[in-house]
Amino acid sequence: MDPKEIAKKTGKTAKLYFSTVKEEEKPYNLWKHFDKDLARDMSLYITGQMYSREKIPHQTRQLITVAALTVLSKPDELKLHTHAALNVGCTKEEIAEVIFQTSIYGGVPAANTALTVLKKVLEERGAK
């Protein structure tokens, strides 16, 4: 794929997914602090080539990501992707259901951590 097209897709997908995430919480900015070139390359691959793929809808992609991050108990990344899931049209009920479903595989403590993340994100966004 043309590098300019990848860069365009990266920007479009990053805006779609992460426009509601505080700048200081975006991994790209952390990466950039240590290695600007690697940060760009990682962003172009992750956001521009993986997240922008059209094989499955963005809602499905984000619900899968929420499930994986819940089971892995990765609350910082989960916060980002909870924002992304809401930004692409997933409902809080769908996200909560995915988290409840993962409790079978990742355990109730991991699900509780994820539900806490979901609650905080909803509060940040002014949702009930």
| CATH at 80 | 1.20.1290.10
Domain containing 76 equals: 57-128
Please indicate, yes or no, whether residues 76 and 112 belong to a single structural domain of this protein.
yes
Percent over 90 (pLDDT), the chain: 95
Closest CA to 40 of 2, 10, 5, 12: 10
* DSSP codes of every residue in 30-84: HHHHH-HHHHHHHHHHIIIIITT--SS-HHHHHHHHHHHHHHTT-HHHHHHHHHH
Residue-wise pLDDT for 72-122, tens only, equals: 999 999 999 999 999 999 999 999 999 999 999 999 999 999 999 999 999
Residue-wise pLDDT for 18-41, tens only, equals: 999 999 999 999 999 999 999 999
The model's pTM is 0.92
Please indicate, yes or no, whether residues 105 and 117 belong to a single structural domain of this protein.
yes
More confident residue, 2 or 113: 113
Please indicate, yes or no, whether residues 66 and 41 belong to a single structural domain of this protein.
no
Query: At residue 128, does pLDDT exceed 90?
Result: no
Please indicate, yes or no, whether residues 105 and 126 belong to a single structural domain of this protein.
yes
Please indicate, yes or no, whether residues 66 and 51 belong to a single structural domain of this protein.
no
In the listed set 55, 79, 100, which residue is the last one of a domain according to the structure?
Answer: 55
Instruction: State residue 88's pLDDT score.
Output: 97
Please indicate, yes or no, whether residues 49 and 64 belong to a single structural domain of this protein.
no
Instruction: State residue 127's pLDDT score.
Output: 83
Structural domain total, the chain = 2
Please indicate, yes or no, whether residues 121 and 64 belong to a single structural domain of this protein.
yes
In sequence order, the 6+-apart residues with CB closer than 8 A to the CB of 83 are 17, 18, 20, 21, 121, 125
Please indicate, yes or no, whether residues 19 and 72 belong to a single structural domain of this protein.
no
Please indicate, yes or no, whether residues 46 and 89 belong to a single structural domain of this protein.
no
